[in-house]
Amino acid sequence: MVRLKTMMNVLVIAQYFPPDMGGGATRAYNVAKGLSSNGCRVTVIAAFPHYPTGDIPRDYRWKPFKREFLEDFEVIRTLIPPLESRGFTRRVILFLSFMVSSLFALPLVGDIDVIFASNPNVLSLFPALVYGIFKRSPVVLNVDDLWPEVLYELHMIERNSLILRFASLIAKFAYKNAKLITPISPGYVNVICGKYGISDKKIHVVKAGVDLNKFKSFNYHDCGKGSFKVLYSGAFGMAYDFNQILLVAKKLEKVNGIEFILQGGGELARYLKARVKRLGLKNIKIIDRIVSRDEVARLLSEADALILPLRDFGTPYLGLSSKLYEYQAVGKPVICCAEGQPAEYIKETESGIVVRPGDCEALAKAVLYLRENRNIAEKLGASGRQYIENNLSIEKIGLRMREVLELAQVVRRAL
């Protein structure tokens, strides 16, 4: 593809951005950094740090916005209420607040060639369209999760409710008005095209990348002497079934040296602590705090195996968690409790063991197998790391995204 210009000015709109937790924040950061490393001048409009606890740092309180620089790009953070991201109503309030406050930065943003609406879901398109009108720039819509489909999968709204119908109309409007769409998983394409009638020519799958300068591979045997640590790191949210981990910990509590670590924060934190206490588990450690990306990378590198405990909603998962890529990047085997795209990805990359979500017997066997076969665990980890290096580094994902953004400019000029 022929580059339109050496320097491209890109505006990224992302309610969730580090230090916020979750895949959406991680992917927005990776895109911003990846584009920056590929010759783009990037400006990010994000909400004040708030996800998932709603605890906004003191430096941001009582301000309409705050400008700061993060590595090679500028971040303009805008007002959002201090609400925990819990339940449908609070989430809607947070979404609507950012849709409005993100426009506060309009006078601060210079020339823009293209706008990347990163998150939240399809709602980020609406402030992006406003910026697109004022800056005369095309909008590319990212799809982290299928929305509103994810809402009824999480049982937040009823399948046949008026809310769901209205949300579906919003999604259709967003898909039709974006110049191009970048879902993070190939599993989303059929839904976007089939349900909403979008041409597949508008869709370009761009997976999440990994910052390999942060997430590094360490010698496996240095981490595994005398113990075997199985770690989950991320949000304590409704998409994950932590009970399967707790029940397996109970099953394996008499096996010396096995420890399960759950690090993160979110709406299930109190429940998890109470459940661990109720079961009397001594081989579970809960780190209930949000840590930096560097600290996350350190925790992952110190574990012996990493787990993705997705909840069983009765249908295969269509999405791909960016957590998997970070797990692979540190060169550790992955225990993937899922069906659908995550399971297929782990099998294709030969980087871990797949078990059915909720199958505690199979999960216990997987933990014991990796503990007793360190050489196989090391090979699985190395395979995952190699795949990330070859395909999903931030630089390679940034180049792929730049090509899509350039194509959006071509499409706009052709209309």
224, pLDDT greater than 90? no
Token couple for 163:
């809310």
Please tell me whether residues 152 and 268 are part of one structural domain. Answer: no
Please tell me whether residues 195 and 225 are part of one structural domain. Answer: no
Answer whether residue 2 is part of any domain. Answer: no
Please tell me whether residues 73 and 159 are part of one structural domain. Answer: yes
The 8-class DSSP code of residue 48 comes to P
Token couple for 200:
């597949």
Please tell me whether residues 13 and 157 are part of one structural domain. Answer: yes
CA distance to 233, 256, 316, 352, per residue, from 23 (Å):
11, 34, 19, 20
CA distance to 18, 126, 163, per residue, from 92 (Å):
21, 14, 12
Among 9-13, 82-86, 341-345, 358-362, the least confident range = 82-86
Mean pLDDT of 46-67: 92
CA–CA gap between residue 335 and residue 330 (Å, rounded): 14
Answer whether residue 1 is part of any domain. Answer: no
Q: Are 290 and 266 contacting, i.e. CB atoms less than 8 angstroms apart?
A: no
**∠ Cα 265 268 274 (to 5°):** 110
CATH number where 384 lies: 3.40.50.2000
CA–CA gap between residue 249 and residue 142 (Å, rounded): 38
Q: At what angle do helices 341-349 and 322-329 cross, to 10 degrees?
A: 20
Q: Are 184 and 208 contacting, i.e. CB atoms less than 8 angstroms apart?
A: yes
φ, ψ dihedrals at 180, nearest 5°: -140, 160
Tell me the one-letter amino acid at 52. Answer: P
DSSP 105-168: GGGG----SEEEEEESGGGGHHHHHHHHHHHT--EEEEESS-TTHHHHHTTSS-TT-HHHHHHH
CA distance to 114, 130, 145, 178, 401, per residue, from 133 (Å):
11, 5, 26, 13, 22
Please tell me whether residues 266 and 360 are part of one structural domain. Answer: yes
Answer whether residue 373 is part of any domain. Answer: yes
Predicted confidence (pLDDT) per residue in 106-163, tens digit: 999 999 999 999 999 899 999 999 999 999 999 999 999 898 887 777 666 677 778 8
Q: Is the dihedral of CA 333, 384, 21, 127 positive or negative?
A: negative
Tell me the one-letter amino acid at 174. Answer: A
266, pLDDT greater than 90? no
Where does the pLDDT of residue 2 fall: very low under 50, low under 70, confident under 90, or very high at 90 and above? very low
Answer whether residue 192 is part of any domain. Answer: yes
Per-residue pLDDT at 361: 96
Predicted confidence (pLDDT) per residue in 290-301, tens digit: 788 889 999 999
Contact partners, residue 154, CB within 8 Å, separation at least 6: 238, 239, 313
Range list of β-strands (E), 224-361: 228-235, 258-265, 284-288, 305-309, 334-337, 352-355
Q: Which residue has the higher pLDDT, 152 or 257?
A: 257
Answer whether residue 214 is part of any domain. Answer: no
Please tell me whether residues 43 and 157 are part of one structural domain. Answer: yes
Answer whether residue 229 is part of any domain. Answer: yes
Answer whether residue 215 is part of any domain. Answer: no
Where does the pLDDT of residue 272 fall: very low under 50, low under 70, confident under 90, or very high at 90 and above? very high
Token couple for 385:
């790391």
Please tell me whether residues 134 and 177 are part of one structural domain. Answer: yes
Answer whether residue 3 is part of any domain. Answer: no
The 8-class DSSP code of residue 187 comes to G
Please tell me whether residues 373 and 407 are part of one structural domain. Answer: no
DSSP 43-57: EEEEEPS-TTT----
Please tell me whether residues 281 and 335 are part of one structural domain. Answer: yes
**Domains held by the chain: number:** 2
**∠ Cα 216 204 16 (to 5°):** 55
Please tell me whether residues 185 and 279 are part of one structural domain. Answer: no
Q: Tell me, rounded to whole angstroms, the distance of Cα 200 from its chain centroid.
A: 24
Mean pLDDT of 275-299: 91
> Across the strands, what pairs with 77?
46, 66
Predicted confidence (pLDDT) per residue in 33-48, tens digit: 999 999 999 999 999 9
Query: Where in the sequence is the domain holding 387, given as residue range(s)?
Result: 220-391
Please tell me whether residues 234 and 383 are part of one structural domain. Answer: yes
1, pLDDT greater than 50? no
Please tell me whether residues 408 and 318 are part of one structural domain. Answer: no
219, pLDDT greater than 80? no
Per-residue pLDDT at 414: 65
